[in-house]
Structure 1
Amino acid sequence: MTFDVKKQLFRKKKLPAQCLAVGISISAISISSLPISTNVHAAQPNAYELNIKQGDLASQLNHLAAATHIYLAADGSLLRGKQGKPIQGVYTPQAALDALLHDSGLAAIRNADGSYTLMKEQVLIPSSATTWQMDNITVTGEKVNRSLSETVSSVSVITGDQLQENHYKEVNEVIERVPNVIRHPFGVPNIRGVDGAGAAQGVFSFISGGRPRVSTSVDGLSESWTGVRYINTGLWDTKQVEVLRGPQSTTQGRNTLGGAIVVTTNDPDYEWQGKVRTGYENQDGKYQIAGVISGPLIEDELAVRIAAERLSGDSFINYHLSESEWPKAPNESTSQSIRAKLLWEPLAIPELSAKLTLTQRNADGEYLNYINGPDFSDYNFDGDNNNTRLQNSEETGLSLDIQYLLNDDLTAHLLLGHQRYQSEFTQYPSLFYMDLEENSTTFESRLTYEPAEGLLSGVAGLYYYTKNEDILIYDGGFDGTDKITTVALFGETTLSLSDKLDLIAGGRLEREHQTRDIVAWPGTAWQGEVDLDHAKNIFLPKIGLAYHLSANSTLSLTARRGYNAGGGALDWDDSEFYTFDEERVTTYEAGIRSALLDNRLNLSASVFYNQFDGYLAYVAPRFTNLSKAESYGLELEANAQPTPSLRLFGSLGWLNSKITDTKSGYESLQGNEFGYAPNLTANLGFDHDIHAKWSWGANAHFVDGYYSDASNTEETEVDGYTTVNLHTAYKINPDLTLSGYANNLTNEEVIYRVTTNGQANVGAPRTLGVTLDYQF
């Protein structure tokens, strides 16, 4: 009997999808009798020829039960969201179960009657000292899937459960958990003192072609950046967020001088499930409506997932403006997003997995969060002598992600993507208008070689990217086009020198071509023209050693280079065109990653030194490449689960930065600290399940004082702050959960940036919120 025939017989006896995918019990370790198959028990385990493709673990277990005639009882909640690896060959049922459940945190025990019961892995361990463990985490940001303890880059991973528990709605909120990372008012976090938004922000980005130093990618495609993050990177229905610190140019490529943020959203499931959320925040009167639904269109072959979210409400800023000067209330804002995924894993081609993703996001209204000083505690904006802006931005993306298993060791990946981004803003009371349209295409093809045993593993790839941008700002602003084309070859390999020591070597050969044609302030006495046609080839090597102290602990030492491309701009005083060089950094880093106490304690520590060459800074009236600058520091991170119901987390970052050499005329910067480079950051928190229905948690986040830019003047100095967040959740029934949270519980004054003209970008005061979730 073929596998397909057995599968058809099994379908008639399969449980409804919601029973398996959602489950009835919410207990972490209790087992309810939800049969995956009702076939006759096998008295003795036989061997079967199996070919089960990679995918949703629940669907894989259904295949296995049908093919081997076993009865498997499981709590569906244990399987929710878990993925399994493919298996092919001759297996006994127990061996197949062990292979499918490897690294899932689950295990199957064979009962006396030949049936199997699925449990959390720790339940099966007889030792009383080990009865629980944390979930395994896979890091994807280095283009090869690795466990957290095997990853040599300094990385923090925030899981989907943590995102939901803490009510994080966007990437800028997540970084409070990450050492040496702070929030930036223009939407890109600052990592290790590197201004994530880059040197060219706001109006200067229109002249010079601003680019960030920290990239943000969602499902493989980089987010657009045009001087300000007009549309936030939302986190509804997200699987995990990875924050990689230090240059990631080898594998992530462009705009990663300071680091990279990698967001992975949830994929479609082969069992119907869904969730609906409604929420409200008091401080800015913001409402949230969100939902997600996922399930099969063709059983075990074609699945869909659709997620949507809408946020709307008023700002916490008090605008003192005449109604006649505004077409609408300046404190209103609305954002919404929708994402649809289609996953195809044809039974006729089990090696193939193809995923089509369509996204659409828009944002409307306030986005700057400016207030006036000298007293920032009243959250007032006075428009008599100042301007603020309202935006209307939209982004649409389409991507195709294909994976093909060439053999047990070699996998081919292909990513094709196209994004269209359009942003408008209008400034009031002094009228100023922007209309920007950007179209970009991404192509990435790579091979990953990951043998179960062997001396060599690695990844090699080809990358192509092109962006076309049209800019129009009037009255009397800018008009022109910008085009960037990037082609790169990249790779990284790990060679085992001994049972414990690995050599890591990699590099990226990249060519970027920029053409930029901008006319600024046309028809005026200070008209200027940007006429840039510049191409650059650059090689970015990486080399390191990894020493495996044990199976769950790795000591590493790496050296790598990163860069951001140069460009051209106009002198702000006389509109003269000039060019500036690329930014380069060489980073040396030593670290240790450990999973201890049977994965109940994860520890990581890093020390690093960055040597910058040509670090770009804006010192009126021009951008200038600083000859030399350096930074060094320490990062500690810990996650622990001392009891089955208590999870602890904490991080500490220490940083020292210094401009060590400047060009003639910029001696005032000599010895200064970088902008956005606090000496100390820290975070400490917990999550506690009081019982099966009620949980709560809290965290405290500290950021030391820093300067808003490299001038280090008293006017740009920002005081340190400590915020405390609290959250709680109560399960009314297995499908309905009521949650509440308080952000900035102590009502701390949080200032992210201060300008020399007495304005500041600020964080929200105390905010209380409530959400109601229904899952099915």
Structure 2
Amino acid sequence: MITIAVATPVGAVEMAGEPADALVRPELIVTGEKIARPLQRTTASVSVTSADTIAKQDLLTVYDVLDRIPNVMVDGNRTTFSIRGIDAFNVSGSGEGPLASVYLDGAALPRLVLASGPLDLFDISRVEVFRGPQSTLQGRNSLAGVVLVNTVDPDFDWSGKARLLLSQEGGGRRAAMALGGPVVQDQLAFRISGEALQADGFARSATTGRYADQRQALTMRGKILITPDAVPKLSVLAAVTHDRHERGAFYIELDPPFAGRDRLVTSDFPDVRQVGSTLGTVTARYDLSPQSKLTLLSNLSRFRFRSSADADRSATAGQISLIDEPTTSFQNEIRFQFRQSWATGLIGAFFLREKRDYLFSSHQRLSLKSLGVPWQLQAAGISPETVDTVIALYGGALPIQNSLSQPQSVQNFAAFADFSIPLTSRVHVRLGLRYDHEAQTRSVSQTAAIDQALPDPAQSPSPALAPIVSQLNSSLRTLVAGANGSDRARRVAYDAWLPLMAVTYDLSDKLAISGSIRRGYRAGGSGINQQRGEAFRYGPEYTTSYEASMRSNLFDRRLTFNANLFWTDWEQQQIALQLTAGSLFDSQIVNAGRSRLYGFELEASVTPIDALSFQFGSGYTRTRFSGPAPHPGFADMDLQGKEFPRAPRWTMSAGASYARCRGFVADINAHYRSPYFQTLTDQNDRDIPGRTIISGKVGWKARAVSAYLTARNIFNVQQREQFFLDVDGRKRGAVSDPRILGFVLEGHI
């Protein structure tokens, strides 16, 4: 099918041995706003992908889901995504926390974990993607939106499944199983699941001849549900997930003599990113009365991201960079929920403590161009020809070794409330408010040194070059010495009030329209100028989003059509600006940006008969910086009128599915995105072309065993999806995966 399970019923979980015609199409319930609401009462723009849709479309990771949702775009290497044109990490290369959060069973995943972490979809019950600011209820790092991933919970009926997926070369092999059932009937139930992945990938090293993007993963999960007879109104759900993911090279060569379809890298040292995760969550619910309940959620998570890479991505030996980022987070949330004739709502409090260490070390050759040296020499009156000769004496690079340590701790406290009040039988008002307090403590330490001899002025090919080389040597030594620095642990704190207001009018019991105003927020932070070794700080940024929505559910829910219009103003935007023109490392973050974005989402689903369904989704987003002009004291960088990078204007998806619980099944789906700008600075042409990917699946489903043939990217579309100009001046990036044929064998009880 397609993208939008907005129309896929939450309760429509397929059960083995039950004919499809017996399935009931209950009203879709959205849970991501902490109160379970029918979609018709949810004013936020949300897509819900159910376990049924995940199975029908053979979706393997959360990125597969995101790639099919209107106004959501996944980057070429599947390390980040954007919602309504806002990249989940940042728009302008800046900011401490993400702009969108991903939660797994209530645990927030750190930023770097999203590059290669626990995002596989086996034994997942649903994925909810909220577009637009969710800062009132979800709090920290949800200015652009939120992705909520929920795994299958235990129950008191035995169930199990197993899956074996075999793909052609590069696509990999997956094996998975899940089993659950009662331990003590009606009091204690369990569910365990696991999945293993092994894939060679599609890229090879032109230097070593080996596979360069191999992937492997192991995910194990256990869940326990306790509903004790001794305390009949209490339920406790405990979940533990342990995960290890590893993947290879991210960027292939795009410049001649290579082509993107060659999928080659030139590194002599393999790039490897490893993520280890352990997440433990306990959710306790107690029914105080039929109209009220108390919920307590506690989570303790440990993550470790490690990266080793060829610093210059070439065949030159000895260029290595290492990153080690361990993160520990603890969060508590308590909510009181009630339902009365005059209002439905909740009151709650949230606390987060996160500790993160970031350690970076490298031996590398920094491009003199990336340091702005050619520009500075020409600014001193030296001719371009002479500049080229001088740069050649250095081999175009400065050999250095450096290390950077940035330990940080964050404490976030919030109190929030959300009420839905019926003014009449047709008019409902929703009011929400959050007080958010965030405190950050960070220290920074950086060392840098030149680790090879610089050119000897006396050995210059021309006497006229000797003073230039001598002066440049002195400047480079001063530059590297200035990069050494530290900033003792300092504490910064931010406070914000984040309101929400919405009005819903029921035109009928099948059709509703709404309007809402939401405040979005990301706290400020601090950093270090890597070239100068100087610490800096910056303040929070805010968005105000205005939305109008329509929700419909017609003909016994056989036809749904939902739409959202939005307009967002962004103020005090955190922008990374350069202090020295041409120098990539001489930059810092300031609150100098102002922008706006607007657009719409349309999603529809038609089920003419129980076994056949059609879906369609479309999203349109326009983004534009509206100011200011260059920031005083910084190199020229006028953002006026520019669009956000990685922000396609159009995203579309469509699909059809035929499936019965027993018998022939088939699915065809397509998703399209229009061209977009790769960077913020160079926007002469939309340098990432538009593309349409079509995938499908056919097979047979029996009572206990099913078998399918799958095809991803049927027409073998291989287009550039990401690129950047590397420090050596070469273009590197990512190309869409080629056609992948696979065979899936499943068993279920």
TM over 0.5: yes
User: What are the Cα deviations for residues 615-641 of structure 1, in whole angstroms up to 9, with x where unaligned?
Assistant: 233344333434310000011110110
Q: Does 1:771 align with 2:707?
A: no
Contact (CA 8 Å) 1:697, 1:727: kept in 2 or not?
yes
Q: Does 1:156 align with 2:72?
A: no
Say which of 426, 430, 436 aligns to 1:504: 430
1:755 match: secondary structure: strand
Q: Distance in 2 between matches of 1:290 and 1:227?
A: 22
Contact (CA 8 Å) 1:211, 1:227: kept in 2 or not?
no
Q: What does residue 474 of structure 2 align with?
A: none
Say which of 710, 733, 738 aligns to 1:741: 710
Say which of 14, 17, 20 aligns to 1:25: 17
Q: What does residue 547 of structure 1 align with?
A: 505
Q: Partner amino acid for 2:443?
A: D
Distance 1:678 1:603, change over 3 A: same
1:144 match: secondary structure: coil
Say which of 333, 338, 348 aligns to 1:449: 338
Contact (CA 8 Å) 1:317, 1:369: kept in 2 or not?
no
Distance 1:460 1:513, change over 3 A: same
Q: Distance in 2 between matches of 1:410 and 1:767?
A: 50
Distance 1:614 1:186, change over 3 A: farther
Percent of matched pairs sharing the same residue: 26
Q: Distance in 1 between matches of 2:58 and 2:720?
A: 22
2:67 match: secondary structure: helix
Q: What does residue 378 of structure 1 align with?
A: 261
User: What are the Cα deviations for residues 392-448 of structure 1, in whole angstroms up to 9, with x where unaligned?
Assistant: 220001111001110011111100010011121211352112222111101000011
Q: Distance in 2 between matches of 1:144 and 1:352?
A: 18
Matching of residues 575-590 of structure 1 within 5 Å: 575-590=533-548
Q: What does residue 278 of structure 2 align with?
A: 396
User: What are the Cα deviations for residues 658-714 of structure 1, in whole angstroms up to 9, with x where unaligned?
Assistant: 000124345532100011111111101110138941110111111001112322435
Distance 1:502 1:529, change over 3 A: same
Contact (CA 8 Å) 1:741, 1:768: kept in 2 or not?
yes
Distance 1:311 1:465, change over 3 A: same
Q: Does 1:761 align with 2:741?
A: no
User: How far has the Cα of 1:554 moved from its partner?
Assistant: 1.8
2:597 match: secondary structure: strand
Q: Which moved more, 1:575-584 or 1:537-546?
A: 575-584
User: How far has the Cα of 1:766 moved from its partner?
Assistant: 1.0
Matching of residues 122-521 of structure 1 within 5 Å: 134-184=25-75, 185=77, 187-199=79-91, 210-226=96-112, 229-322=115-208, 329-366=211-248, 368-373=250-255, 376-383=259-266, 389-428=271-310, 430-451=319-340, 454-475=341-362, 476-521=402-447
User: What are the Cα deviations for residues 363-413 of structure 1, in whole angstroms up to 9, with x where unaligned?
Assistant: 1231625443366531423325x9762122200011110011100111111
Q: Partner amino acid for 1:432?
A: S
Cα RMSD after superposing both structures: 2.2
2:20 match: secondary structure: coil
Contact (CA 8 Å) 1:528, 1:570: kept in 2 or not?
no
Distance 1:25 1:382, change over 3 A: closer
Q: Which moved more, 1:145-154 or 1:289-298?
A: 145-154
Q: Partner amino acid for 1:672?
A: K
User: How far has the Cα of 1:264 moved from its partner?
Assistant: 1.3
Say which of 609, 625, 639 aligns to 1:669: 639
Contact (CA 8 Å) 1:150, 1:553: kept in 2 or not?
no
Q: Distance in 2 between matches of 1:164 and 1:710?
A: 38
2:40 match: secondary structure: helix
Distance 1:308 1:162, change over 3 A: same
Q: Does 1:612 align with 2:574?
A: no
User: Gaps (5+ residues) in structure 2?
Assistant: 1-12, 311-316, 363-401, 450-479, 579-586
Contact (CA 8 Å) 1:716, 1:753: kept in 2 or not?
no
2:643 match: secondary structure: coil
Q: Does 1:656 align with 2:622?
A: yes
Q: Distance in 2 between matches of 1:135 and 1:630?
A: 38
User: Gaps (5+ residues) in structure 1?
Assistant: 1-20, 31-77, 79-104, 106-133
Distance 1:605 1:572, change over 3 A: same
User: How far has the Cα of 1:530 moved from its partner?
Assistant: 4.6
Distance 1:197 1:387, change over 3 A: farther
2:407 match: secondary structure: strand
Q: Distance in 1 between matches of 2:72 and 2:668?
A: 20
Q: Distance in 2 between matches of 1:312 and 1:257?
A: 35
Q: Distance in 2 between matches of 1:148 and 1:260?
A: 16
Q: Distance in 1 between matches of 2:629 and 2:485?
A: 25
Contact (CA 8 Å) 1:628, 1:660: kept in 2 or not?
yes
Q: What does residue 679 of structure 1 align with?
A: 649
Contact (CA 8 Å) 1:371, 1:759: kept in 2 or not?
yes
User: How far has the Cα of 1:251 moved from its partner?
Assistant: 0.6
Q: Distance in 2 between matches of 1:643 and 1:767?
A: 31
Q: Partner amino acid for 1:742?
A: A
User: How far has the Cα of 1:577 moved from its partner?
Assistant: 2.0
Distance 1:289 1:576, change over 3 A: same
Distance 1:751 1:255, change over 3 A: farther
Q: Partner amino acid for 1:770?
A: F
Q: Distance in 1 between matches of 2:92 and 2:745?
A: 41
Contact (CA 8 Å) 1:562, 1:586: kept in 2 or not?
yes
User: How far has the Cα of 1:562 moved from its partner?
Assistant: 0.6
Q: Partner amino acid for 2:557?
A: N
Q: Distance in 1 between matches of 2:251 and 2:706?
A: 32
Q: Does 1:594 align with 2:555?
A: no
Q: Distance in 1 between matches of 2:629 and 2:432?
A: 33
Q: Partner amino acid for 2:20?
A: A
Matching of residues 707-718 of structure 1 within 5 Å: 707-714=677-684, 717-718=687-688
Matching of residues 7-46 of structure 1 within 5 Å: 25-29=17-21
Give the number of aligned pairs: 641
Q: Distance in 2 between matches of 1:759 and 1:322?
A: 18
1:477 match: secondary structure: strand
Q: Partner amino acid for 1:164?
A: A
Contact (CA 8 Å) 2:346, 2:418: kept in 1 or not?
yes
Contact (CA 8 Å) 1:319, 1:331: kept in 2 or not?
no
Distance 1:624 1:591, change over 3 A: same
User: What are the Cα deviations for residues 62-87 of structure 1, in whole angstroms up to 9, with x where unaligned?
Assistant: xxxxxxxxxxxxxxxx6xxxxxxxxx
Q: What does residue 559 of structure 1 align with?
A: 517
1:300 match: secondary structure: coil
2:725 match: secondary structure: coil
Distance 1:361 1:191, change over 3 A: same
User: What are the Cα deviations for residues 266-294 of structure 1, in whole angstroms up to 9, with x where unaligned?
Assistant: 11021222111111121414000000000
Q: Partner amino acid for 1:596?
A: L
Q: Partner amino acid for 2:19?
A: S
Q: What does residue 59 of structure 1 align with?
A: none
Q: Distance in 2 between matches of 1:649 and 1:282?
A: 29
Q: Partner amino acid for 1:499?
A: S
Q: Partner amino acid for 2:203?
A: I
Q: Which moved more, 1:157-166 or 1:710-719?
A: 710-719
Q: Distance in 1 between matches of 2:332 and 2:439?
A: 16
1:331 match: secondary structure: coil
